[in-house]
Structures are given as structure tokens and as C-alpha cells.
Structure 1
Amino acid sequence: IYSQPAEIRKLFFIKELNFKGKSYLPQTLLMAQNVVEVLYLTNSFRKIYLTLFEENQTIGFFSFLDDIHRAEHLIPYYHCFHAQTVSPKVCLAPSGIINILGDTYFGEIYTEKRKARGQIDALQQYGYDYSIEKIKAFLGEHDVNIANFEAVFSLEKQSPLVHKKSFILKADAEQTLAAFKNIHLNHAVLANNHLKDYGDRGLAYTLQQFDRTNISYIGAGTNQKEAHSYFEITFNDKYYAIFNGYWHRDTAYLNYDFYALGPKSGVACLNGVLLEQIGRYKQANPEHKVIVICHWGIDFKPITKEQSKLADILTQAGSDLVVGHGAHTIQPIKVINQKPVVFGIGNAVFNSNGEYTEQNALPYGCIARLDLSKDRLRLYPIYTNNLKTFWQPRPVNEDDFSEASSYMTSLLTPENYYAAQDDLGFYVEMSF
């Protein structure tokens, strides 16, 4: 087949077939992408893929136990990088503290819309530093401070997804990164559903801006191998690896072309190579702690079945702690395979209006604070209802904490955690 002329070869790799007025799509989504050519074979027991990557003339033969691993992410990776290992981004944690912030975006797009309606908001009135003022105390100068940057920097005027995607989040690079540096936000996780809102060029420009300001990042890259880099943090002869991925969504894969696949740029997929990586890393380094930061979940909704399934696989593969965000509200904590899974820490600073009332969701986020000297995790709830705080999230009061912590710990037994207060605020603590 592969030696035939192109017009004949195309007959074997049909992206869409129209027959008698009906449209037929391939049985496997992998055939809808142009990274590799695929022959799809199957019987009642298993799916088998025979694949070719024309650029380097490699042939693959793949069979998967289940769909959760996602053939469409693993196959391009092995064709391009099968002989190479992913290298970490090494960093020190002088204070022994890692702070993880959820969805973070100063909201320029939302501000533009408000401005057009004649409405004032915090960004117009007070600028970029205002929104983070009441939570910056968490971010020490010598801590490892990590935020999920949920937007993209771009020089383009219009997104290639303008008629396809509902929310396209563009940020001002200079102002955003200056605000990040002011509060010692020195690391970013980028595997989410907005980093490629301005296509390949927007992604490349965003990575350049983070590089320019010495903010280290994982979760995205100009190819799949680069996107799957991870942080390796050392503290007092102990090692911690932090991985980052965005769960597989068919829309992000087929319509938006969001994932890094083989030589193509994009974000790291949680369901693909990452699961393999974590297993291999833990096998090679059983003494190291593995932390996975996941972007998953449905906006303002409880934990989904797919989140639970992924959490089960991640904790079996070797994750010692899973921290998730993406639903823009908190989700409960669960102990799975003796490992804590924080399904959702919600927003940090995310300057939309929020839909807490309409969606009947709790108006809280969380700052996850890891103390590496004791391997303890503290979760500090913050109040994130922007319309009530004028876009300035703050640590919760006692009543808010009672509501937030009750929900967060609803799937735990009392011996798994305890609640207390320190100079930063109220928190729920557990070991990892």
C-alpha cells in the first residue's frame, strides 16, 4: 500500500466518506489526523493499528488494553521519539515549600466586553496587581510557586478558532508576566484548553515570553517530547517530580488541534504518553515522590467518571499526589490506592464574572501548599466570587471555611485529614 502512487494510497486513508448523501467518519479518531498513516484492524477481542510515519519511514504495530490511554497520543510519540527519553526541568526549593495555584488569568477579554458595555472592573480601575493582592502572602520569594496560566499571549489580531470555539482567552504578555514576577510566581503549568487559542504561532510566542522572563514551564511545547517535560525538584536530598497534562477531549483533538503530537506543537495530554512516563519514572526512581497536576473536569460540575478513572490509573502508575483544576470551583478530595487525589482546587485569580449562582456551584478555590520537610499538604480555601469581591479573591472566613472544607472532605474519613488555622488562614491538612 505504501509503495503505491499517492492517489491510490489516499483510498486507504479516507478522512470522510460521502456515500448516497450520508457522511461516514473513520471508526478510530486517529485516522482523522495527518501525523501518521493508519491501517485499523480489529476483531471481537482487540483493536490493532498498523502505522507509518512517512518522515522517518518508521512502521509501528500497536495494540491497547483500553481506550483511556488514547492511541492517538501514544502512536505519534513513539514514531517520533521512541529512542529518546524526556528530560526534566531541574529546580531547587530553598524553603522546602511548593505552592500550587489553580486557573489564573487577569481577564483582559472579559474586561474588553465590560468596557464595551460601559462597566468598570478591577483591571480598568486598579491594574494587574490588585487582583492578587490578598493571596500574594502565600507566595514566598524562596518557594516554588506554580500557577496554571489559562490563556495565551499572541501578536495576532484574530484567532484561527474565532468561529469554532466559544471562549478564546488572550492575555497581555508584558503586564501579566510583570505581575507574576512581582509576586514570585516563578513556574507555570500550561496543559489546558486555552494555550492554543491562537494556534501554533500563539503557542510559540507564549513559550518565548515565559523563557524571556525566566519563568519555567511544563505541559506545552513545540513538539510532543518537549510538551512532556516535567519539573524535578530537590530539597534536602529528597526528589519530587511534577508532571502536567490536560485530559483528552475529542473537540480539542479534532476541531482545535490542541495536543502536541509527534513533531506538532501543543499541550501534553493526560491520557497518553503521560501515563507511560509516570510509570517508567516511578519504576526507575521508587524513592522519588511523584506529583501530577491535571487540567480536567467540567465547568462548575462535580467529579466526573472519567476523572475518577484517570485518578485510579495515575495512582496505580506511581503518583503520590494528584492535584487537579479546570472546573473553576472546588471538587472533593479522595484517597485512591492510598494516595490523596485533590480533584479540583478551582480558580486562583480568574477574572471572569463567574457562574456560581447560575450553576449552583460553591464560590471557592484553593491554594495547595506542600511542605517538603514533612511531606504534608495544606489546602487553603479562598473566596473567588468576583462579583462579590470586585475581582479580588481572599482567604475564607470561618463560615466560608466550614462550607468549603465540609464539601472538600466529604469523601474522606476523619483519620485522613485534620483542619486548623495559621497566620495564612484556615486549612485542611493531610500527608502525601
Structure 2
Amino acid sequence: MRRRRWRALSVALVGLLVTGCFAPQGPMFGDGSSVPEEAARVPLRVRPGPDGTWALNSPEDGLLGQDRTIARRAGPERPGWTATLPAEFALTSQRPGTAHSAYVDGSVVVLVGGSAGREGPSAVAGLDIATGRLSWRRTLAPRSRVFLHDSGFGTVVEAQCGGGSCRMSGWGLLSGERRWARTEQGAVRMLDSCQADAFLPAQRRSVDRCYPYLVTAERIAALDPDDGRVSWMKDVRLPRGRIDRIRAYQGRITLATAPVRGSCLVTVAALPSPGSTDDTDRGWQRTLVWDQPQAPRDPDTGCRWDRTIPLVVGSHMTLPDAKGALVSTPGVGAPGPSRRLAPGEYLVADTSRREVVRRPGRPDRPLFATEDRVRPPGLTPAARELTRHVWQDGRRLLLLDHEDRVLWEDTSDCQAFRHSENGDFLTYCDGTDLVTLRPVSRD
């Protein structure tokens, strides 16, 4: 009897698990059978920039910001508002931490300001997402850099490095109150492994997996933003040259130097994993002539070098060697690349993180020959896949079925974007309106 009861209970549990795991999903863009339906239409209170995008676009929070206007779309239990920012905090940069940019974290937006005639940020301020009002402001010392870390207590870090030391302060994200201050002798630079100096800028709400790092000529240390504690790494050898980029991935730190003027030589080095008991894990170094075909010549170095271009594309790390870009899987100890692209080729990623090989004057192709073509026939190289089977080509918006037949078509006056807020949504601009679509089953 007990066995029968246990068997019946097991069958019921398995049924529940199977039902929960394999229950039919609701309509989704790109499932081949759903079409868009208008879910909301509101006035477009923030016009995008010349390229059709916004300096601040946080769909999860309903936030759009460009120049001196910032607005929040109303939603369930979410009041809407529109605010005019002070000129110092006008939003024009999409690179968080630079002057005229913004970070978004939960209930606060951290604005990074800039002033005329000054290089770099001039001040930071907190903006209350619930009301659209500034809640605090801090003036920055000249030549300061700003870092945001939202794990733990949530901290804004200011660092001023020069003269062989770095002066640092940590302020509360919500209050702007100073939590700690310290000076670290010997440090010459602080690197942001989350955003500005990263191989790949972190996605929103994942910055708790990366930290600011202090660098000397010979050592590197992680900074704990919550209390200002500095932890120097032991028994590591840094590459020669000015450390310019950093990546922390699966316990391994990878560094890249800035190109040398004239020769364009760059050294990329993976440091040994901290605490590793493997005697063969000594890291690796590779020196190459840096050449990014998609970048203009840098006036200071004379090299084709743009540090805003991600070095991690999809699931691969790309080192732009003049002989041909080296493509490898990041985070592993092996120094050798998995393959080399032809000179002039470089990697870009579509919205599904698939790696695409691009070279001016030639059709795009997938990195792996076994994958499908890069885009449906008839679309231009500028076409962007917003989500599976949904494309924007200039002003055209297209939803295609699995045979690339058009299920729906419209136009957008801005760069449309997909987001998920209790469902699958797509938002675009229709003249003076901001329109949000949701997928519905086609009859």
C-alpha cells in the first residue's frame, strides 16, 4: 500500500513538474504566429538625439532622457512625470561616468554633470525616480572620475589620481552623504571594470560582479566601494605600459595597455587566478599591433584605436591585430586564439549575441559557417534585429515569419527598442507619440 501511495505521489509530482516546465507560453514576437497589437500610445515627451536614440533609456523604469528633458512613463503603481534638468546635468552621453551621462539604480538616477571649459565631470547629483526632483548634489574636484557600484549599500565613488597617489571618496547612492575617504600612495590610476574601462560594459544590474581597480607601475588592487578598503593582489606581474582596459571574468583579470605612439603596440595579459593551486596557471601575455578597422586614427597615438568599442563580442574576446583580428573564448587560461580573421575584418554582435564578421564593401557573414545568414534578403547592412524576426531598417519596422514573409510593417521616427515588463513589448516613435506594442495570436 505504501509503495502504491508513493508511486502515485511520484507520478503526480512529475506531472506537476512537466506541466510547469512545458506549459505553453503566451504570444511572443518572433514565434512565427503572433502579430503586434497596440498596447499603449502616449505623447513623446523626450525627443531622441540626432541618431534616433536617447542618452538615457531605461525601459524597466519607464525612463527616457535627452538633453535637458527627462521623463518617466506612467504605469501600474508608477506615477509619470516630466522634468527639466539644470544645464550642467544635460544628458548627451551614453557612456555612464562621463560628463553629461547617467546611471540608473532602483529608486535613484545618478546624474554626472559637466561644465563649459572643463575636461571631465564637474559634479554628480541624485534624482529621485518617484518624483523627478534632484535629491542631492556633490561638486567634484578637477580631473576626477566617477564610478557607481550598486551592490551592498550602493555607492558613488569619486577618484582623483595624480602625483603618485589617488584620493578617493565614497558617497551613499540614495543620500549623497560621505561614507569614507582615503588616499592610496603609489596608485597612478583607477580603472572601472564595469563600464568606462571594461572590455565589455556590464549590463544593467550586473555591476555587482565587477569592481574599481587601482593600478601602480607594478601592482593592482581591488577597491571595495562600500568601505574604501583596498586589497592588493600578490605575486602578479603587470604588462609594461599604461594599463588602459580591464576585464574581470570567472576569477581571472585580463588587462590591456594603451597603444604606443607610432608603433601601435599593445600588450594584453591575463593574470593568474587568485588563490589558484595550479602551479601551471601563470597567466599569459600577448603583444600585437593594435588596429581597429572600424575606428578612425587617434590624434594622440596615430593608431586606429577607439576604447569605446567592446573587445568582447557575443561570447568571444576579439583582439584587433593588424595581421587580422584574434578571436578567442574569454575567461580561459589558454593564451592561444581559436581563429584569426582576415585583415580589415572585425566582429559585431546582433541582438541575439550572435557574432557577425563585417568588412566594408562586403556582405556581412556569420562567424560560424554553420549558422543562418546574417539578415533576410532585401534588407540593408544598417538593418537591426530588435528581437527574433523583428527588424528595423532605417525607418521601416518589419515582423517576419520563419520563411521571411512580412507579417506586419510600420515606420518609426526613432530607434525602436524591446523590453519586458510582465510580458513582451516593443516601443517605437510615431510622430509625436510613443507607441508600445505587444504580441497577440493571429486568428
TM-score per shorter chain, which class? under 0.3
| Greater share of strand | 2
TM-score where L is the length of structure 2: 0.24
The structure having more radius of gyration, on CA atoms, is: 2
TM-score where L is the length of structure 1: 0.25
Larger relative contact order (CA 8 Å, sep ≥ 6): 1
| Greater share of helix | 1
